[in-house]
Amino acid sequence: MGPSREGPEGAAQAAIHQVNRAMSDKRQLQAEPDTDEAARRLNAVAAEMHFGPETPLALDSGVSLAPFTIAYQTYGTLNAAKSNVVLVCHALTLDQYVASRNPITGKPGGWWPAMVGPGLPLDTDRYFIICPNVIGGCMGTTGPKDIDPKTGKPYGLSFPVITIGDMVRAQAMLLDRLGIADIFCVVGGSMGGMQVLQWAAAYPERVFSAIPLATAARHSAQNIAFHEVGRQAIMADPDWRAGNYLAEGTTPSKGLAVARMAAHITYLSEAALHRKFGRNLQDREKITYGFDADFQIESYLRHQGLTFVDRFDANSYLYITRAMDYFDLAADYGGVLANAFKGTKTRFCVVSFTSDWLFPTSESRQTVHALNAAAANVSFIEIATDKGHDAFLLDEPEMFATLGGFIGSAARRRGLVK
Amino acid sequence: MTAQDGTSAFGYVQNRVDLALIAEMIAPDARVLDVGCGDGQLLALLARTKNVDGRGIELSQEGVNACVARGLSVIQGDADADLHDYPDDAFDYVILSQTIQATRNPREVLTQMKRIGRHVVVSFPNFGNWRVRLQLLWSGRMPVTRTLGHDWYDTPNIHLCTVRDFVSLCDDLGLNIDDAVSVIGNRARRVGRPGSIDNLTAEDAVLLLSRKS
């Protein structure tokens, strides 16, 4: 823990205040019924799984994390054979609310409304969909903003560093606890796609089909560089307090907002920015010869930064970006990516997007090459779009058509549909 | 290749004879790679009739989509760029149906196919066919025929060859010709090793090749 401006007692008081606030948030989160009619049709259920001191999470760093909680959402109904499970892995700043109202932002329909629902590629009338918040996250799963039972204070930077492998190990523990042996389909984009690849490599016998979207088997130098800019922005904010801001009652909003603004640019593309904003001015006729947000793109980015700080914990951002940086699947298998998939029976569908410069098609092709070298069942498609990395979250009819076809044929193989 | 009408991007009407001939050459339960698999007709046929473990490579997004939707494992890519990434002996058969004339480097493509497959199946339109020869001789213009449906300026067929040219390349690359079929209209004739008559009469040729040991 970093230095505290107040005495230890003051810090403890603030910590307790923080716990109470978190608890009341949580109560509200659980008590408030999801009145959304659409959510009822999806059979959306919010749940938490607690793992006590007797079942620690063994982290790649060598540290054991216990106790811990995984917050997750489910949609649809688990069949008797437990063979219709779809695991959705979320991206860096997303959460478990894949298809229902996010209680923090109030955003209805979740972050993947065109993908998950009755009659959609992830058909809630057919599949049982589980979406857990990743370990280290800030939406109910244990992360740095939670209380360390050893100290009674928020973990802050004393939270252990986590990896993509740790996220997936925690998810496997959740499925074990739910009595689910294997997954019909594991799907995710970006960091979610990294988890998909990790699942397929670490638990090949548990994964029938896998859909890594807009992702890579390792984080590139350029992407680590972008993450480092974001982290430094957070750490440069005086309100970050060496990671101890919760105990000290501050919030590094400015740093986190800048981190979000920089990252958001990487999720788009030059063409999409030009199409949406061009050099258009924001609510004014002329430039003002000052540093106001003259341009629409500036105003848009500022808005993105501001809204992000209301829903995301700055330390969580540090930890989760680090997990992505550390991801290098081949390194865990003797430097040869194909070895990660040796003998796999999993059916893969790899998807990339032409204008994605964060996880360009060349990265997906490397995964495909490795899968080919491992004689895996792999399909690959590059979707033509100008929407950049975020395309996987947006309305891309070709993507839905491909994934609908892939999931449908996998379901026939699995005997889930005639 | 479009999924709807069975017409390839190369203006070649994918005829069932060609597919059936190739299917006949494939042993049951084999591992097969179809390079330029279009909408997956051949792979689907092979899966149905020969129980093969099939994979495909296809350039067009709609072709890949059609394949994936029918449950085939197909990656978006092309013969020139993507064969390098497969390991040696990855497949029992590597098939290139009506595509070699559209590749940038047919010799390299064939070399790669030979490396990754124990057997290689190639079908292509024969530029040595008598109609082609006569059209060029009489009209003095680039031939346009049933199997070569494009004008010179918009044809994707940048490396056309005759049956004799192809046989000569196989000899160069150390490829045995294990079987060959000459296709004229809807009729197919098994010819063993193609000769001068086949070079004159065949509209299409289908060859089964293997590495010389």
| ipTM at complex level | 0.81
Residue type, A2: G
| CB–CB contact B85 A372 (8 Å) | yes
Nearest CB among A372, A373, A412 relative to B71 is that of: A412
The region of weakest confidence among A353-367, B56-70, B154-168 is: B56-70
- Token reading at A242: 């060496």
pLDDT of residue B16: 63
Q: Span B96-124, mean pLDDT?
A: 96
pLDDT of residue A2: 35
Q: Which residues of A are catalytic?
A: 190, 356, 389
* Alpha-carbon distances, residue A71 vs A125, A312, B38, B95 (angstroms): 23, 15, 44, 50
pLDDT of residue B15: 56
Dist. CA A183–CA A199, nearest whole Å: 10
Nearest CB among A368, A401, A405 relative to B75 is that of: A368
Dist. CA A127–CA A79, nearest whole Å: 8
CATH of the domain at B94: 3.40.50.150
pLDDT of residue B18: 80
Q: Is A405 on the interface with B (CB under 8 A)?
A: yes
Chain segment B126-137, per-residue pLDDT in tens? 999 999 999 999
Q: Where are the domains of chain A?
A: 10-220+329-414, 224-323
pLDDT of residue A37: 72
In a domain, B98, yes or no: yes
CATH code reported for the domain at A10-220+329-414 = 3.40.50.1820
Confidence of residue B9 (pLDDT cuts 50, 70, 90): very low
Q: How far is B10 from chain A (nearest CA, A)?
A: 21
Measured between beta carbons, which residues in chain B are less than 8 angstroms from residue A380? 64, 74-77
Q: Is A208 on the interface with B (CB under 8 A)?
A: no
E-strand stretches of A62-182? 64-65, 68-75, 85-89, 128-132, 147-148, 153-154
pLDDT of residue A5: 36
User: In chain B, which residues touch A (CB < 8 A)?
Assistant: 31, 55, 61, 64-65, 67-77, 85-87, 90
* Alpha-carbon distances, residue B210 vs A288, A304, B2, B110, B205 (angstroms): 74, 60, 31, 11, 16
In a domain, B11, yes or no: no
Q: Is A40 on the interface with B (CB under 8 A)?
A: no
Q: Residue A367: closest CA among chain B residues belongs to which residue? A: B85
In a domain, B3, yes or no: no
Dist. CA A245–CA A7, nearest whole Å: 14
In a domain, B115, yes or no: yes
pLDDT of residue B70: 86
pLDDT of residue A107: 86
Q: Residue B87: closest CA among chain A residues belongs to which residue? A: A373
In a domain, B7, yes or no: no
CATH code reported for the domain at A224-323 = 1.10.1740.110
Nearest C-alpha neighbor of A173 from the set A72, A321, A29, A83: A72
Q: At residue B42, does pLDDT exceed 90?
A: yes
pLDDT of residue A14: 41
Q: Which residue has the tokens 């860096």?
A: A92
Backbone angles phi, psi at A310, to 5 degrees: -75, -20
Secondary structure (3-state) at B56 = strand
With a CB cutoff of 8 Å and minimum separation 6, the contacts of A382 are A351, A352, A353, A354, A361, A364, B61, B76
Give the number of domains in chain B: 1
Q: Span B152-178, mean pLDDT?
A: 96
pLDDT of residue A10: 42
- Token reading at A146: 């939670």
Q: Is A281 on the interface with B (CB under 8 A)?
A: no
Identify the H or E element spanning B111: helix B106-116
pLDDT in tens, chain A (418 residues): 333 333 333 433 443 344 334 333 443 344 344 456 777 789 999 999 999 999 999 999 999 999 999 999 999 999 999 999 999 999 999 999 999 999 998 888 899 999 999 999 999 999 999 999 999 999 999 999 999 999 999 999 999 999 999 999 999 999 999 999 999 999 999 999 999 999 999 999 999 999 999 999 999 999 999 999 999 999 999 999 999 999 999 999 999 999 999 999 999 999 999 999 999 999 999 999 999 999 999 999 999 999 999 999 999 999 999 999 999 999 999 999 999 999 999 999 999 999 999 999 999 999 999 999 898 999 999 999 999 999 999 999 999 999 999 999 999 999 998 7
In a domain, B197, yes or no: yes
Identify the H or E element spanning B139: helix B130-139
Q: Is A368 on the interface with B (CB under 8 A)?
A: yes
pLDDT of residue A418: 74
Q: How far is A385 from chain B (nearest CA, A)?
A: 12
Q: How many cross-chain Cβ pairs, A to B, lie less than 8 Å apart?
A: 70
Q: Is A347 on the interface with B (CB under 8 A)?
A: yes
Show the domain range for B51.
16-211
